[in-house]
Structure 1
Amino acid sequence: MTLTKPQDLSTEAIATLIGKNARVYTTGDMLTQDFVPNRVNIELSDTREIVRVWLG
């Protein structure tokens, strides 16, 4: 699927889609240092493109 414009990615929408606890943030945002093994972290660029997806 090709997107013509960035989509509105909210933590609630992502968590609903993947069925897991999710944290969505933009590159450069301050994050807590806690480790949550089943949390999906999704890093977005300033243009709302996915840069990285990781657990913890």
Structure 2
Amino acid sequence: MENIHPIFDRLLTRKDKESFLSQKAKTIWFTGLSGSGKSTIAQGLEKLLFDKGFLIHV
């Protein structure tokens, strides 16, 4: 299967960023019906991880 999202040359590699931040990159997907609380859970997790000192992006 062809990758439709090519990775372009970057100034910093993922390893460089992980080393600098002292944390590994992770992706978490929330799926579910509309109104089931996905955004609420994501916001709660964002606060929890931030309070523990992680750099995060939602």
- Same fold by TM-score greater than 0.5: no
TM-score range (shorter-chain normalised) is under 0.3
Report which of the two has the higher share of strand: 1
Report which of the two has the higher share of helix: 2
Q: TM-score, normalised by structure 2?
A: 0.26
